[in-house]
Amino acid sequence: MKEKEDVLESLTTGVVVIDLKGKITNFNRAAENITGLIPEKVREKKIDEVFGPEFFHNSHLDFRSLKDIQENVEVEAEIYRKDKNSLHLSISISAVKNSRGERVGTVIGLQDITRMKRLEEQAIRTDRLGGMEKTVS
């Protein structure tokens, strides 16, 4: 269905779909922009081959256990892309079920929250500086 593909490609959220065998079946343009990985090179590969243990920093994601996830899981992580840029991501993981309620895979949503994290860090620094000025006065 071309329409579903068009919708997936239009999203700003990276979408990675994995079948029950752990193979990547869909990897949209936003996932490519976020990770720096090329969809044609990752499709049909096992998820843990593509996203090895060193890919997501500051998280405890174990892609071998994705098939065991029953409820939505949300975590934050940092990645270091090949171009040396680091990004902060919000990662959501959900089961994909068919019309009969049977699990047919897993979907991973990748949202770049780098700008928001940097603004938070800037606000914290500003608050600390403001607190220091009060103690000096």
For the chain, which residues make up each domain, given as ranges?
Answer: 2-136
At residue 4 the predicted structure's pLDDT band, cuts being 50, 70 and 90, is confident
CA distance 16 to 43: 9
**Mean pLDDT throughout 6-14?**
89
Residue 93 pLDDT: 92
The structural architecture, per CATH, of the domain 2-136 is: 2-Layer Sandwich (3.30)
Residue 137 pLDDT: 53
Residue 135 pLDDT: 56
**Mean pLDDT throughout 1-13?**
83
Enter the tokens of residue 123.
């606000």
- Residue, of 21 and 58, whose pLDDT is higher: 21
Residue 36: phi and psi, rounded to 5, are: 80, 5
Give the contacts of 128 (CB within 8 A, at least 6 positions apart).
Answer: none
C-beta atoms surrounding 90 within 10 Å? 16
Pairing relationship of beta strands 14-19 and 86-97 according to DSSP bridges: unpaired
pLDDT tens track for 105-129:
999 999 999 988 888 888 887 877 7
Q: Is 118 helix (H, G, I), strand (E, B) or coil?
A: helix
Burial class (CB in 10 A: 0-12, 13-18, 19+), 131: exposed
pLDDT tens track for 43-101:
999 998 998 777 887 777 777 777 777 788 898 888 888 777 889 999 999 999 999 99
- Residue, of 27 and 129, whose pLDDT is higher: 27
CA distance 25 to 14: 14
